[in-house]
Structure 1
Amino acid sequence: MDAMHKRVFQVGIAIVLSISIALNGWVSEAAALTNEQKLVAEAWRVVNRTYLDDTFNHQNWAAVRQKVIKQPLKDKESTYTAIQQMVASLGDPFTRFLRPEQYRSLQVNTSGELTGVGLQIALDAQTGALEVVAPIAGSPADKAGIRPRDRITQINDTPTAEITLDEAAAKMRGTIGSHVALTIEREGESKQIDLVRDRIELNPVVAELRTSPNGVPIGYIRLTQFNANATAEVAHAIANLEKQGADAYILDLRNNPGGLLQAGVEIARLWLDEGTIVYTVNRQGIQGSFAAYGSPLTRDPLVVLVNQGSASASEILAGALQDNGRATLVGETTFGKGLIQSLFDFSDGSGLAVTVAKYETPSHRDINKLGISPDLTVKLEPITRDELATPTDKQYQAAVEFLNTKSVVAKAA
């Protein structure tokens, strides 16, 4: 027994010594690192601790760090390039390194000071091509006829394959009245569109009482973006339409590229009395969820219009209403943007945008890359913004017909 205790004691000492040696090694390495190497190590640690995919794109993430640390990092520019390449190895266009000027620009863009052409853009996760999520309603891009899924191959004289997502966004922003030329590729054809930058007006809600051919009063609400004012404006619209006698509703989320997660959750609560709205899932599993509670503003029949330009918070809202049986979705499969990014800033002003989680609908459908499929698929030929929600708009007409039938059946019952 004493011999066994002695062996256990010796093993314990060996483990403690091993840990001490390892810790001393880390401390010694940290002390020996240059400022450039420390920035690389800091960026690596952020990704190592928070990134959604714990396989790091099926590579040895520790080995990636060692390889980058050993590079001749002579100055900030070479360090930034090395971090960019390290992060790019993850194969995730939404996880990216931001130089100080890019990080400042992103902060300005999210503060609501918008001047430019009015495009929500993303990189295709499979091809890396720059594509349009949706134009903002009434923006120069919208008026020029740019559509969701259009590919932007060139901005002025710069091919987009040579620049990052944030650099592309920066090139499209600019002073009011200045020009920018975008080369757009659509269905194999390419054309250049000259746009004049302008202030982007974010009026997220359009609401009006309509009457169906059979006399059903329908509240039509178009929501163009989930900004800080969206919840209050949708609630105000529903309250007004209820007073006017609406018996059914159409919520139009077409070409709505998303915005604030919280706005999507709160707007779902305006329609639901109970039930899960969305799950957030990190690499350890379900991280959290948002649920509905209290009384909805209306229980009248609801149709939600969606298309390829409905993304992010639009997909969360549509998925929540569909999975809870609260609404019928009409239109086309949505964009498929279901990832959550967090921003991390470093002492030199640079930063990282890192994919830390994903969204799942109440029935645990993965939104990312798949989108939300409508209950009733209706294709729509391109129409102008002025033709939305008119007899020319086949998706809108399909929604009206559905609600008209549903209301007639409900009255007969």
Structure 2
Amino acid sequence: MNQPPKKFPLLQTALVSSAIAFTTGSYLFAPTWCRSVHAALQDSPKTVVDEAWQVVNNEYVDGTFNKNDWQAVRQQLLSKNYTTKEQAYTAIREALGKLDDAYTRFMDPKQFQSLTNQTSGELSGVGIRLEMNEKTKAISIVEPLEDSPAFKAGVKPGDQLVAIDGKSTKGMSLDQASGLIRGEAGKKVTLKLSRPGKGIFDLRLTRAQIQLAAVRSSVKQEGNLRVGYIRLNEFSSHASEQMSKAIKTLNDKQVNAFVLDLRGNPGGLLHSSIEIGRMWMDKGAIVRTVDRRGDNEEFKANNTALTKLPLVVLVDGNSASASEILSGAIKDNRRGTVLGSQTFGKALVQSVHSLSDGSGLAVTVAHYYTPNGTDINHKGVTPDIKLDLSEDQRKQLVGNPSMLGTTNDPQYAQAIAVLKSNPLAKPPVNKTSPSASLR
């Protein structure tokens, strides 16, 4: 029997394309199989079935396997002959279905590669964010990412994407267009763009490995209050370094308080959520995990906070997993005010393993609790200040993302009201004027 690979901790985010979408999850990733093992086993579908069974047998959080005889499941799986990988994949998925756990799932090689790309916070492409006009269905450039091939070639926001390598984008979805633009670093792709005043023109770009921005930040002048606004989209492998840079930059710009926006953030790497928690908290627990043996592991702040300024954290029903770890830690430690809607309610940790043929398996291995011992699974984090958006307000923000973090955003506006009532958020005395400090 082949030994399953070891694991190392993280939590999931899902990158789909140069337009980004996410799935909710909490993960532990295992190292990939070595080349020699991969070469020896890649043509044996039954081996992959057994590998998947072993991972579940060794790690699944419920030792009763949802009251299934897991040894009998193995015998049933190995009694069959699989002539194709697809037959083996179907058998694995059917076996996992017995666990009745939506977060324990099998991924074919393409899906597994997509997940590993997601969590890396990197993408091989040209570095553009796309959007589609709801009325015309035309695809255009939201922005080129800084220092990307598209940015260096002079691609501008608003450029319309007419064709990709000679293939018209008419009728294409964003995912289809993104899939054609992505590709191996070093390979070329030709984009046909249309720009007012310039007309239609071709750009031949060389794809590169690009670090995606998980963090966006800015200074918001709200009356006499200078607010550092930070929006965190995902807990990728680069999120903590980007968060550190954002907090330090906003500190240099002499903000008086912070708004941390976790709305719509479905999770990410476990170590990233802990590192980011330590940037906001000097002391206190961040999260506690419990595995199937009842073993506890607690992660704490370590006196490395980058700011002690007043903080409001914005959350909604799509703030999940690592977002709930961070917002729960800030709430339970009274480090800031959590404001918005009840969060998603995902308190399970998965282990993600690569299998010998390049496919992968995510298996629930632990349950996590907030510092106060609260189990938020299927419940979510309850905000200190609950403020739900109406359906019209939600549609307005989705249709006009530029409204997020402005006074036209009801939850942000309430966050500003909270900060203005906090005496610790008073503007600094005898410091450089706001205009002079901008750079």
Q: TM-score, normalised by structure 1?
A: 0.67
Q: 2:416 maps to what in 1?
A: 400
Matches within 5 A, 1:4-403: 39-114=48-123, 140=131, 196-197=177-178, 202-213=212-223, 215-380=224-389, 381-382=393-394, 383=397, 384-403=400-419
SS at match of 2:421: helix
Q: Residue type of the partner of 1:237?
A: A
SS at match of 2:66: coil
SS at match of 1:140: strand
- Cα distance in 1 between the residues matched to 2:237 and 2:74: 39
- Cα deviation code 1:184-237 (max 9, x no counterpart): xxxxxxxxx997436798322222233334x23322222222223322232222
- Cα distance in 2 between the residues matched to 1:112 and 1:242: 25
- Compared with structure 1, are the counterparts of its residues 204 and 177 closer, same or farther at alpha carbon in structure 2 (3 Å cutoff)? farther
- Cα distance in 2 between the residues matched to 1:180 and 1:88: 36
- Cα distance in 2 between the residues matched to 1:77 and 1:249: 50
- Cα distance in 2 between the residues matched to 1:405 and 1:224: 28
- Cα deviation code 1:317-339 (max 9, x no counterpart): 11111111101101111122332
- Cα distance in 1 between the residues matched to 2:90 and 2:176: 32
- The count of aligned residue pairs is 319
Q: Is the 8 Å Cα contact of residues 202 and 225 (structure 1) preserved in structure 2?
A: no
Q: Is the 8 Å Cα contact of residues 222 and 252 (structure 1) preserved in structure 2?
A: yes
- Cα deviation code 1:7-56 (max 9, x no counterpart): xxxxxxxxxxxxxxxxxxxxxxxxxxxx6655434322221110011221
Using CA pairs under 8 Å that are at least 6 residues apart, name the structure with larger relative contact order, 1 or 2.
Answer: 2
- Cα distance in 2 between the residues matched to 1:276 and 1:82: 42
Q: Is the 8 Å Cα contact of residues 309 and 424 (structure 2) preserved in structure 1?
A: no
SS at match of 2:422: helix
Q: Is the 8 Å Cα contact of residues 139 and 201 (structure 1) preserved in structure 2?
A: no
SS at match of 1:40: helix
SS at match of 1:321: helix
Structure 2: runs of 5+ lacking an equivalent = 1-43, 136-163, 183-209, 428-439
- Cα distance in 2 between the residues matched to 1:40 and 1:341: 19
- Cα distance in 2 between the residues matched to 1:68 and 1:260: 32
- Cα distance in 1 between the residues matched to 2:332 and 2:310: 15
Percent identity, please: 43
- Compared with structure 1, are the counterparts of its residues 104 and 361 closer, same or farther at alpha carbon in structure 2 (3 Å cutoff)? same
Deviation at 1:254, TM superposition (A): 1.2
- Cα distance in 1 between the residues matched to 2:64 and 2:169: 45
SS at match of 1:400: helix
Q: Is the 8 Å Cα contact of residues 140 and 196 (structure 1) preserved in structure 2?
A: no
Deviation at 1:405, TM superposition (A): 1.0
Q: Residue type of the partner of 2:360?
A: G
SS at match of 1:249: strand
Deviation at 1:277, TM superposition (A): 0.6
Q: Is the 8 Å Cα contact of residues 279 and 286 (structure 1) preserved in structure 2?
A: no
Q: Residue type of the partner of 2:404?
A: L
Larger radius of gyration between Structure 1 and Structure 2: 1
Q: Residue type of the partner of 1:346?
A: L
Q: 1:156 maps to what in 2?
A: none
Deviation at 1:369, TM superposition (A): 2.6
Structure 1: runs of 5+ lacking an equivalent = 1-34, 117-136, 146-173, 183-192
